[in-house]
């Protein structure tokens, strides 16, 4: 196995600009940091999204929003499962189970890729990834229907996802991010489709 990825200076700048230490989040809310760390260790709150070289754990600024919406940490799991199941039922794409995504949510990695981490955004991201992969597997840029669907789905995924840390995230995920593969690359591969879109939008 190779050495674990290391945060470069640009990665650190990215993380510090968009994420917050748990201590600061707890101070802002008057939360007991030790109790929150216990909840993380027990699998009742998500782990940190990033770990700086000095050991500082970094979390999304809206880290507690989902627990607040659920009525508290004790209700978070049940609310997550219920909301995820309802959102997944509205999709035609086959998705992971609510229990599987609860475990993924607890890993903290959805804080890495999503601007807002909710069961609904998790579902929609997963569906869009599958749908875009299917579209790109059978490219038909001359087909207006295919092109329009591609543009619409890329725009939606673009709006959901964070930029990702410049180097670190590509290393820890073992390759290009979903944004790289399904937003940036298609825009480069089919520039005429997106140039036309920009003109129509007045950009």
Burial of 126 (0-12, 13-18, 19+ CB in 10 A): buried
pLDDT of residue 201: 46
pLDDT of residue 203: 41
Q: Is 175 helix (H, G, I), strand (E, B) or coil?
A: coil
pLDDT of residue 199: 41
Number of domains in the chain: 1
Q: Is residue 175 part of a domain?
A: yes
pLDDT of residue 38: 98
Distance in angstroms (rounded) separating the CA atoms of residues 72 and 49:
21
**Tens-level pLDDT at each residue, the chain (203 residues):** 456 788 999 999 999 999 999 999 999 999 999 999 999 999 999 999 999 999 999 999 999 999 999 999 999 999 999 999 999 999 999 999 999 999 999 999 999 999 999 999 999 999 999 999 999 999 999 999 999 999 999 999 999 999 999 999 999 989 999 999 999 999 999 999 887 554 444 44
Distance in angstroms (rounded) separating the CA atoms of residues 120 and 124:
6
* Structural domain boundaries, residue 89: 9-201
Q: Is residue 3 part of a domain?
A: no
Selection from 98, 85, 91 nearest residue 153 by Cα: 91
Distance in angstroms (rounded) separating the CA atoms of residues 109 and 178:
13
- CA 173-177-179 angle, 5° bins: 160
- CA 188-18-183 angle, 5° bins: 15
Q: Is residue 172 part of a domain?
A: yes
Distance in angstroms (rounded) separating the CA atoms of residues 4 and 1:
9
Assess contact for 49 and 108: CB atoms under 8 A. Answer: yes
Q: Is residue 1 part of a domain?
A: no
Q: Is residue 62 part of a domain?
A: yes
Please name the residue that has the structure tokens 């609510």: 98
Q: Is residue 173 part of a domain?
A: yes
Q: Is residue 2 part of a domain?
A: no
Q: Is residue 143 part of a domain?
A: yes
* 88 backbone dihedrals φ, ψ, rounded to 5°: -65, -35
């Amino acid at each position: 196995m190779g050495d674990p990825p290391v945060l470069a200076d640009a990665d650190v700048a990215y993380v510090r600009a968009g994420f917050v230490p748990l201590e600061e989040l707890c101070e802002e809310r008057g939360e007991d940091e030790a109790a929150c760390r216990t909840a993380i260790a027990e699998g009742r709150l998500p782990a940190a999204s990033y770990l700086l070289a000095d050991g500082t754990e970094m979390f999304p600024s809206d880290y507690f929003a989902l627990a607040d919406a659920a009525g508290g940490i004790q209700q978070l799991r049940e609310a997550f499962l219920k909301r995820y199941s309802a959102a997944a039922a509205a999709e035609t794409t086959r998705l992971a189970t609510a229990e599987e995504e609860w475990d993924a949510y607890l890993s903290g990695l959805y804080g890495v890729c999503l601007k807002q981490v909710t069961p609904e955004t998790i579902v929609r991201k997963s569906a869009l990834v599958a749908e875009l992969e299917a579209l790109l597997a059978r490219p038909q840029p001359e087909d207006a229907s295919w092109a329009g669907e591609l543009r619409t789905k890329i725009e939606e995924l673009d709006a959901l996802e964070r930029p990702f840390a410049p180097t670190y995230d590509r290393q820890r995920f073992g390759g290009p991010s979903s944004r790289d593969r399904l937003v940036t690359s298609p825009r480069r591969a089919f520039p005429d489709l997106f140039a036309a879109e920009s003109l129509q939008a007045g950009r």
